[in-house]
Amino acid sequence: MTIAFLRTPQADSANAYNKLEFEAASHGARAVAYVSAGEKGTFRGLPLVTPSDLASLGIDLLVAAMPLSAEDLQPLTAAGWPMSQVMSHATEKERCRAAWSQNGGEWMATRHPGVNGTELIPKVEYAKVGGPAVGPVAPIVDAVGRLSITTRAFDAFHLARVDAPSSGPYAIGRNWGNFLRATRPQFYAAVEAGDVAAIDNLLSDCLRNEMTTGTFGTPVPYEAYNSWVSAGAGTVAGVRQQFNIWRYCVANADVSRLAAPPVGDPFGVWVGEGIVHPNTFLNDCRAQFVSELLAPIDRPLVLDLGGGFGGFGHQLLSNGSNAVYVGFDLPENLIVATYFLMAAHPEKRVLLYEGRDQVLDAKTLRDYDIVMMPNFMLPRVPDRTVDLFTNFISLSEMDYASIAEYLRQVDRVSNGFFYHENLLDNGENYEFYPVSVFPALAQFKTLWSAPSRWPFFSPSSPHHCHGEVLAARRDLDVARYFGAASRAPKTAIRYATAY
Ligand SMILES: C[S@@+](CC[C@H](N)C(=O)[O-])C[C@H]1O[C@@H](n2cnc3c(N)ncnc32)[C@H](O)[C@@H]1O
């Protein structure tokens, strides 16, 4: 909904506008003007118009910050403005909110004021919300290209599966082993049959089928979304809730960065010209933080353990940083992330698993943009090779022996930082290992640790509460990690699908 605010002497003297502007921005209304009985010009960063200008501005509703008096209404009536299109936020707050939020609210607003001298000048940017996006999305890569990506990813998967240990800390854990077998029957059948075409089919809409159970949605992502869509405006409200957190977490809240690449048949909500899924806010926030943390380093190596379908890797690779994304994961999820990242970034250089003796030193890793390795290859990475080790919603879900081994590897391979998000409390959901029982890292000091900012993972969530933890190497090379930015970030990649 497009609205204007009414400027009155009472509201001026009560300083009542900020509250109104905040409410409107939070509930999906776009404010385009202030209206005053006499004056014209600008007011609080918006055009100041008279009642006779209102009709030409495409305004749906005029909102007052204070109770409306006959004196306020008289110039509006004189200009022919219908009284059904005027409301007072002071006396009709719930009606205002309901009107602004109709169909989930049409706009997402980012408030980032400027300062003129010492005066705060409000400024708001809006992105249009077009409702749920659930139709099929044509893939960015043609069928021949997709099959060639699938074949490469499947060959690497096949080799890794043969070489994967069946016991010890690098064997698939009890939790994920049972879960994958129970939720991905078509995938395992295709693997047993060596049926690349069937795997290619599964991967081509991996964001809506069993290939991303537990990494994008459970039980099957699309089923979860369908029930969400039936919540109607609630779908958009869920995305708005994520958006309202994300916009405070990133320096540049540019929604075009959140648009899903046309890979794996994405779904979500139309925002601006792209399809945005609630999950992407987390991954973008992580990727922006990582890019800023590593800005002083040219071509930083980011090792991500348990990267799921590749969402964080994708945000990192498309946000203009020149980091190398090095993913380590169980072969069953690695094949999905490999496909997703290769199809979303066909121009990038990619290294996949070739065998147990493969060299994974810094020079080799930097020859590529994307490196995807099975988990058991982690010991092949030399000491102090990577700049950052990340692990999101993952270590806590593993067997304890695996957690201990991976943390030993963090201590050994990261030269700079360890950033992870893992359980603080299991909530009502399950018996996993919270961060408080993780073995301590000998070489690292925790710089900060806080409960998750995201509602689903926060302390008030009944599901499970995660922490966000940043640790730095005790003997960190300060000149390397805290110097000036090595380069200006390149332009980010944008995906737009007209609607
Ligand atoms: C819940 S998903 C999280 C995915 C992604 N990091 C995110 O935040 O959306 C858990 C990830 O941990 C990985 N994982 C589970 N057990 C593992 C193990 N023993 N070794 C390596 N990765 C493992 C899974 O394959 C999956 O990618």
Residue 347: pLDDT over 70: yes
Q: Is the per-residue pLDDT at 430 higher than 90?
A: no
Query: Is the pLDDT confidence value at 47 over 60?
Result: yes
pTM for the complete prediction?
A: 0.93
| Residue nearest to ligand 1 atom 23, measured at CA | 306
Which residues does 463 contact at the CB level (< 8 Å), separation at least 6? 427, 428, 429, 456, 457
Dist. CA 88–CA 6, nearest whole Å: 9
Which amino acid belongs to residue 55?
A
How many domains are contained in the chain?
2
CA distance 494 to 361: 32
Residue 305 lies in a domain: yes
More reliable by pLDDT, 225 or 366: 366
Could you say which of 127, 156, 188 is where a domain stops?
Answer: 127
Percent composition of the chain: helix, strand, coil (DSSP 3-state, to 5)? 40, 20, 35
Residue 161 lies in a domain: no
Q: Calculate how far, in angstroms, residue 305's C-alpha sits from the geometric centre of ligand 1.
A: 7
1-5, 24-28, 73-77, 295-299: range with lowest mean pLDDT: 24-28
Which is more confident, 135 or 12?
A: 12
CB 496, CB 257: distance < 8 Å: no
* CA of 364 relative to ligand 1 center, distance in Å: 25
Most confident range, picked from 24-28, 33-37, 118-122: 33-37
Alpha-carbon distance of 299 to 407, in angstroms, equals 24
- Residue percentage of the chain with pLDDT more than 70: 96
Which atom of ligand 1 approaches the CA of 333 most closely? 25
Distance CA 104, CA 29 (A): 10
* pLDDT at residue 104, rounded to an integer: 73
Name which residue sits closest to atom 27 of ligand 1, judged by CA.
Answer: 308
- At 218 the pLDDT is 67
Residue 191 tokens, joined: 């693997």
Look at residue 498 and tell me whether its pLDDT is greater than 60: no
Of 104-108, 189-193, 250-254, 477-481, least confident by mean pLDDT is: 104-108
Closest protein CA for atom 14 of ligand 1:
306
Please give the pLDDT value at position 231. 63
Looking at residue 455, its pLDDT comes to 93
Mean pLDDT across 332-336: 98
CB 370 within 8 A of CB 350: yes
In a domain, 491, yes or no: no
pLDDT at 193: 98
Best mutation site among 157, 174, 176 for ligand 1, i.e. most ligand atoms within 8 A of its Cβ? 176
Distance 391 CA to ligand 1 centre (A): 8
**Which residues lie with the beta carbon below 6 Å from any ligand 1 atom?**
172-173, 176, 214-215, 305-308, 311, 329-330, 333, 375, 392-394, 397-398, 402
Q: Give the mean pLDDT of the chain.
A: 93
State the burial class of residue 171 (Cβ atoms within 10 Å of its Cβ: 0-12, 13-18, 19+).
middle
Q: Quick one: pLDDT at residue 392?
A: 98
Task: Determine the pLDDT at residue 467.
Answer: 96
Q: Check pLDDT > 70 for residue 224.
A: no
Provide the domain limits for residue 283. Answer: 278-482
Residue nearest to atom 11 of ligand 1 (CA): 306
pLDDT at 497: 53
* pLDDT at residue 229 tops 70: no
Q: Above 50 in pLDDT, residue 385?
A: yes
308 CA from centroid of ligand 1 (Å): 6
Label residue 242 by pLDDT band (50, 70, 90). Answer: very high
Range with the poorest average pLDDT among 382-391, 449-458, 487-496? 487-496
Q: Mean pLDDT, to the nearest integer, of 41-55?
A: 94
Q: CB–CB of 327/286 below 8 Å?
A: no
* pLDDT number for residue 228: 61
- Indicate which CATH number applies to the domain containing 48: 3.40.50.720
Tell which atom from ligand 1 comes closest to the C-alpha of 214. Answer: 1
Domain containing 373 — which CATH number? 3.40.50.150
pLDDT in tens, 75-117: 999 999 999 999 999 999 999 999 998 877 889 999 889 999 9
The mean pLDDT value for 280-295 works out to: 97
Give the tokens for residue 226.
């369908």
What are φ and ψ of residue 163, in 5° steps? -85, -10
Confidence of residue 236 (pLDDT cuts 50, 70, 90): confident
Closest-lying ligand 1 atom to the alpha carbon of residue 216: 9
**Token pair in block for residue 283:** 């991954």
The DSSP secondary-structure symbol of 296 reads T
In a domain, 208, yes or no: no
Q: Is residue 18 part of a domain?
A: yes
Residue 203 lies in a domain: no
Residue 319: closest CA among 337, 302, 334: 302
Give residue 499's pLDDT: 36
> Alpha-carbon distance 467 to 450, whole Å?
5
**Section 40-44 average pLDDT:** 94
Q: With 80 as the cut, is the pLDDT of residue 490 above it?
A: no
CA of 329 to the centre of ligand 1 (A): 7
Q: What is the mean predicted confidence (pLDDT) over 224-238?
A: 70
Cβ-based neighbours of 120, under 8 Å, separated by 6 or more = 113, 114
Ligand 1 atom nearest 279 alpha carbon: 9
Q: Taking phi first (over 0 means left), then psi (-120 to 50 degrees means alpha), and beta for anything else, what does residue 343 get? A: alpha
- Check residue 225 and give its pLDDT: 65
Within-domain flag for 160:
no
